[in-house]
Amino acid sequence: MKKLSIVVPCYNEELTIVPFLEATQKVEALMANELTFDYIFVNDGSKDRTLEVLREVASKFDNVHYLSFSRNFGKEAGLLAGLEAADGDLITVMDADLQDPPELLQEMYAKIQEGYDVVGTRRADRKGEPLIRSLFAKTFYWLINQISSTEMVDGARDFRLMTRQVVDSILDLKEVNRFSKGLFSWVGYDVAYVAYENRERIAGETSWSFWSLLRYSMDGFINFSEAPLNLAMWAGGGSFIASLLGIAFVVIRKLTIGGSIAGWASLVTIILFIGGLQLLALGIIGKYIAKIFLETKKRPVYLVKEKG
Ligand code: UDP
Ligand code: MG
């Protein structure tokens, strides 16, 4: 029988792990004649009792395992650690807060049997989400799909069922700065999507603030597009051409009409404009260099302190 590995990154999820496990085990019982389940929880440096809860459930059930990081490394690191540890023929990634409904697994598995390599999930709507957040999310997806050749689906969650082959391909991407939404899509394969209504997390709090989401989306741009660099280049090119026209204008006027004008204010504005452009371009280049710096250090993405 085929084995399904379920990877669950956890950060401060002491309240949700048990309900999550219970809900998923119901689905496990329903699918028992098709698949065996295996759980890999990754404790991402939680500050609450998550680790104790994980130790407990792991000793209670043979098919529940956990990894515990030495500190908080972020959800991307948790995902990577879980995928590396997973040895199933099929692998799925789920949040611990039951925002990813386990009941969907049956429908997703049916699609895998139809021949798809990946079955992703997307939210049918953004109900229950603050308006400003939806607006930013929509803008992000629109913009990144304009400028990046890797397609990213609006509303797609990390919750996805993948074959062994797909996961191996994802693990072949050795970059240290991991933007999973992009990596999942970059590897390609035949992807089907299942839509469902947005759910609220059952307990605890989201660990994403508006600013951390904004920073995350910046990572998406830098990791999956050269557009910011091109923007800097075009802006530089544009102002260079404008300055050539300006020089021509000044020279021709000097030779024809003669004299010079009082232009203190306009001069200062232009200097500020050019200075600003240069700093902006430097900043953009700096962002990419910082990424290169992080990549070349080849530090491990996570450190495991305890396994069970
Ligand atoms: N998570 C994690 N490390 C972090 C932040 C979050 O492993 O640094 C996990 C978290 O426990 C949850 C999943 O990632 O299982 C999604 O997090 P959350 O529910 O806070 O995000 P949201 O659903 O609001 O996007
Ligand atoms: Mg959540």
CATH of the domain at 166: 3.90.550.10
**Token representation of residue 231:** 């923007």
For the ranges 4-8, 15-19, 118-122, 247-251, the lowest mean pLDDT is seen at 247-251
Gap from CA of 230 to ligand 1 centroid (Å): 33
Residues 73 and 177 in one domain: yes
**Do 199 and 232 have their domain in common?**
no
Least confident of 55-69, 179-193, 248-262: 248-262
The residue-averaged pLDDT of 18-45 equals 93
pLDDT for residue 261: 67
Is 214 within the bounds of a domain? no
Clarify whether residues 60 and 94 are in a common domain. yes
Whether 130 and 174 map to the same domain: the answer is yes
Domain boundary among 208, 238, 268: 208
| Same-domain status, 204 and 253 | no
Mean pLDDT of 126-154: 81
Atom of ligand 1 nearest to the CA of 207: 20
**Which residues fall within 8 angstroms of residue 290, CB to CB, at 6 or more apart?**
none
Last residue of a domain, one of 152, 181, 208: 208
Q: Which of 11, 16, 50 to mutate to test the pocket of ligand 1 (most atoms within 8 A of CB)?
A: 11
Shared domain for 281 and 133, answered yes or no, is no
Q: Are residues 173 and 28 in the same domain?
A: yes
Q: In terms of domains, do 37 and 175 share one?
A: yes
Q: What is the pLDDT of residues 274-302, one digit of tens each?
A: 887 888 888 888 888 988 998 899 889 99
In the predicted model, what is the mean pLDDT of residues 55-67?
A: 94
Alpha-carbon distance 52 to 94, whole Å?
20
**302 is a domain residue:** no
As a dihedral over the C-alpha atoms of residue 16, residue 20, residue 21, residue 22, rounded to 10 degrees, the angle is 110
Residue 100: CB within 6 Å of ligand 1?
A: no
Q: Are residues 170 and 284 in the same domain?
A: no
Same structural domain, 152 and 7:
yes
Q: Does a structural domain hold residue 36? A: yes
Domain boundary among 153, 176, 208: 208
Mean pLDDT of the chain: 88
Residue nearest to atom 22 of ligand 1 (CA): 206
Res 179: pLDDT: 85
Question: Is residue 50 pLDDT above 70, yes or no?
Answer: yes
Range with the poorest average pLDDT among 10-19, 88-97, 183-192, 250-259: 250-259
Q: How many residues does the chain have?
A: 308
- Residue 47 and residue 175 in one domain: yes
Find the angle CA(66)-CA(87)-CA(23) to the nearest 5 degrees. Answer: 55
CA distance 1 to 146: 43
**pLDDT band per the 50, 70, 90 thresholds, residue 264:** confident
Reported confidence tier of residue 119, pLDDT bands at 50, 70, 90: very high
The closest residue, in CA terms, to atom 2 on ligand 1 is: 75
Q: Are residues 129 and 159 in the same domain?
A: yes
Whether residue 88 has its Cβ less than 6 Å from ligand 1: no
Instruction: Give first-to-last CA distance, the chain, whole Å.
Output: 24
pTM: 0.77
Domain that holds residue 143: 2-208
Please determine, for residue 24, whether its predicted confidence score (pLDDT) is greater than 90. Answer: yes
C-beta of 180 in contact with ligand 1 (< 6 A): no
Note whether residue 303 is domain-resident: no
Residue 158 CB–ligand 1 contact under 6 Å: no
In this prediction, what percent of the chain has a pLDDT beyond 70? 99
Angle CA 10–13–17, to nearest 5: 90
- Identify the weakest region by mean pLDDT among 2-11, 45-54, 60-69, 258-267: 258-267
Strands (E), the chain: 2-10, 35-43, 64-69, 90-93, 118-123, 156-163, 191-196, 304-307
Flag whether 78 is in a domain.
yes
Domain count, the chain: 2
Q: What is d(CA 14, CA 202) in angstroms, rounded to the nearest whole number?
A: 12
